[in-house]
A = this chain, B = another copy of it.
Amino acid sequence: MDIATVIGLILCVVLICGSIVIGGGSFGSFIDIPSVLVVLGGSVAAVLIAFPLKTALGAFKITLKCFLNKTEDVKTIIQQLVALAETARRDGLLALESKMEEVEHPFVRLGVQLAIDGSPPEVIEDLLRTEVDSIATRHAEGKHLMDQLGRFAPAYGMIGTLLGLVMMLSNMSDPSSIGAGMAVALLTTLYGAIASNCVFIPFAEKLAYYNKKELLAREIIIRGILAIQSGENPRVIQQKLSAFIPPKQRSQEAA
């Protein structure tokens, strides 16, 4: 579970509610269902037009990812690859077959299987890189969807405020209601700003971060598989792959 996402969201809610309480406002004046509908409904509608149905419906699943995603432990992956390299060097590539059960990461499995099958290195690299590219493309689409929600939410907030202002201005017979009318009109802008800056934009950033981490892990795996296949020295492989991670984590690993 991604604890930072949870803490951040709770902090957002506490700060906004707290500032209303301290400011002496009533929560009632901050709740307006039609405004919520315009901002969230409008953003969803825009995303439905902008994306194919399947991707748009996948937005909910993508959101969950920001809470539940478990980044792969790059250090463990490197250790596994080095262990595989040792086996391959000692007992030949075919000996990896017996080790396949211990390998959990599907991408490592795919690579090792290709190596055992005796595909030439160019074919293996081509296949694995195509796979990585198509993963990157799918992830980029998820991030892009969040980015678009973060862009449409304030836009529909502004549309809602303009709707409210026009209604208020075309009916100014009762001057005492002007303040309340303005307050309601501003609520959609507020909703749009909160939805965008507390949820959509930060979520898009976190998805981008996950994607980067995952692509790094896969890059390490591709390099590792190719090194294993070419029968490189496991110690050299470890040195090569460790260069991808910060020195601090590296030294722990050596220990």
Determine if A45 is an interface residue (Cβ-Cβ < 8 Å).
yes
Produce 1/0 per residue, A23-48, CB < 8 A to B. Answer: 11110011000110110011011111
- The total of chain A residues at the interface (CB under 8 A) is 96
* Nearest opposing residue in chain B for A164, CB measure: B23
Question: Shortest Cβ distance from A163 into chain B, in angstroms?
Answer: 6
Choose among B11, B158, B160 the residue that contacts A44 (Cβ–Cβ < 8 A).
B11
Residues of B within 8 A of A203 (CB): 49-50
Taken together, the copies of this chain in the complex come to 5
Alpha-carbon separation in the docked complex, A127 to B239 (Å): 8
Alpha-carbon separation in the docked complex, A189 to B203 (Å): 24
| Given A15-B38, A127-B243, A209-B52, also A186-B162 (CB < 8 A) | yes
Residues of B within 8 A of A163 (CB): 16, 19-20, 23, 25, 30, 190
| Given A20-B167, A166-B29, also A244-B159 (CB < 8 A) | no
Residues of B within 8 A of A205 (CB): 49-51, 148
CB pair B206–A7 under 8 Å, yes or no, is: no
* Nearest opposing residue in chain B for A152, CB measure: B197
CB pair B186–A169 under 8 Å, yes or no, is: yes
Choose among B8, B26, B46 the residue that contacts A201 (Cβ–Cβ < 8 A).
B46
Determine if A3 is an interface residue (Cβ-Cβ < 8 Å).
yes
CB pair B182–A169 under 8 Å, yes or no, is: yes
Question: Shortest Cβ distance from A245 into chain B, in angstroms?
Answer: 7
Choose among B46, B159, B240 the residue that contacts A202 (Cβ–Cβ < 8 A).
B46
Known pairs A16-B38, A169-B180 / 13 extra A-B pairs, C-beta < 8 Å: A4-B56, A5-B49, A8-B49, A16-B163, A19-B38, A29-B166, A30-B163, A30-B166, A51-B205, A127-B240, A130-B240, A131-B243, A166-B190
Measured CB to CB, the residues of A under 8 A from B are 2-5, 7-9, 11-12, 15-16, 18-20, 22-26, 29-30, 34-35, 37-38, 41-42, 44-53, 55-56, 66, 71, 123, 126-127, 130-131, 134, 137-138, 148, 152, 155-156, 158-160, 162-167, 169-172, 179-180, 182-184, 186-187, 189-190, 193-194, 196-199, 201-203, 205-206, 209, 212, 216, 236, 239-240, 243-246
Which 4 A-B pairs have CB atoms at the shortest separation, nearest pair first?
A8-B48, A50-B205, A49-B202, A8-B49
